[in-house]
Chains A and B, each alone.
Chain A
Amino acid sequence: MIGSEIVTGLTIGAGYSLLAVGVVLVYTSTRVLSLALGEMGAFGFYLGVKFNLHGVPLLGWHLSAFEAGITAILVGALLGLLVERFIMRPLTARPGIDKLIVTLGVALVLALVELNFISFDPYPAPPFLGSGHFVLLGATLTTSRIAELVAAAAAAVVLYLILNRTKLGLATRATTSDPTVARLLGVKVNNVYRFAWVTAGGLAGLAGALVSNTNGVLLPFSLTTALLSSLAGAVVGGLDSLGGAIAGCLLLGVVQNLAQPYGIAYESGITLVIVLVVLLVRPQGVFGRSSAF
């Protein structure tokens, strides 16, 4: 019984880590803590679902559920591109709090557009990868949960390989270490920033589709609420450590799932306690290196 609870918890954590991977990527390469990623992912899926239900405006054809998911990924990546180029880049030299606030602004704008111009009522989330159940170590898991687990693992492995085996990865790590020095060595840091935001945006889109599937509905801020657990996990594990953030998310998923029977307030309450304690005792996170940003 406890084994199946843990497995379920791990899949929940995997969903969180899908967003956390993007948070860590953006944070390490640009030193920006992005609170916009959740809504960026949800926005694409909102559009996808709208096209699924009501057809694409002017063209009239209806997207399949799968195509809605693809739309989420593409729109997420596109939003990443736009946000980096037109919002974050002009703010490069500004204090961290300005950048943090502006990402909240992006989340707010997207959520208000979803609410006021896409659908005032919650959208049903169509099964992106079909519906089905699997039983793993006694835990019954839906397709979307399994997909979250697989996608999170794949994203982590691919990103690890990119960062450590490619020239783009070397450029990214150089930029993380010191953007000015990286530029003096010929690294086009703007390309690194773009890579980080587009990748994180695309992953957020994927997370938007999958997490909404799991939740069953799509609401404004529902993905920002999911992002919040990702952030909490990343803080616990270390904002500048890919592996640490994933571990933090998995841990949080398990803990939340174990607390779930006692009520939703216990789930978020224990998350709050864990975050506060970690911030106080080890501000850089369990696996993190630097606590300043």
Chain B
Amino acid sequence: MSHDKVLSMTEAIRRFVSDGMTVALEGFTHLIPYSAAHEIIRQQKRDLTLCRMTPDIISDQLIAAGCVSKLVASFFASGSAGSLYEIRRRVESLVPEALEVEEYSHYGMVSRYHAGASGMPFAPLRSYSGSDMPDLNPLLKVVDNPYGEGTVYVVPALNPDVTIIHAQRADRSGNTQMWGVLGAQQEAAYAATRTIVVVEEIVDGAVVRADPNRTIVPAHVVDAVVLSRRGAHPSYVQGGYDRDGEFYREWTAISHEPERLRQWLQDWVYDLKDSDDYAEKLGPEKWAALAVSDRPSGVVNYGSSR
């Protein structure tokens, strides 16, 4: 409980992310760990296997920066806004080189994390019967149903070397509280050998203990806590700041031109020290445009016998 796991982003990435590792960066439309990805780019990590259900712009950036040799994913667009042209170039025209892709459906990926988190070799699901997906990905296999007729498709456990997630808050020992869209972060954290939690706010342990049900990732599975205010931009933080839809739309044009994409990485990642620099460069007008209204939850009573 009292073990202090707070590290700088630079130190956390240096210590826990190495070339050749399998790295999961989860967060489904919400709480996407952009500032951590930017630090991975700055430290020029190489040959990573990147796991992310919806690759999103964050994957396009990591791939363009040369950090990723393989992508494990279940969707290849950035939400409702446009194309990820770096990924498309790699897959469609093999430029500048082919990107290895291992493809699942969403529940296939969730089930992989679930199996990994549960210490199981695989997980069964109802999907893939009659689909061409198993032809493309031989890891989608069937096993005999031991309790009845027929067969069941299974997906292999996914155990990342490190999972990185972004959250609203954590205490210094790593008890991480999140609200809003929760995606597969809990499963991905438990599945990993190491977990880095990037937060908008580091709070006192008493704040966590006032509302223990909101702890989605407990300290016992967290190795580093990194403070990075506004570090999920251009994605959003429920109750913190909104998604930057303008940037999501702009990315289609940025990623379409390899030179423009390199320049973007130079200006917004390599030339900056950290996410504070980045937030400052975005400027007060942008942050004012992304401000959200207050909509506090009700208060529940955790009272017990005295």
A-B interaction: no
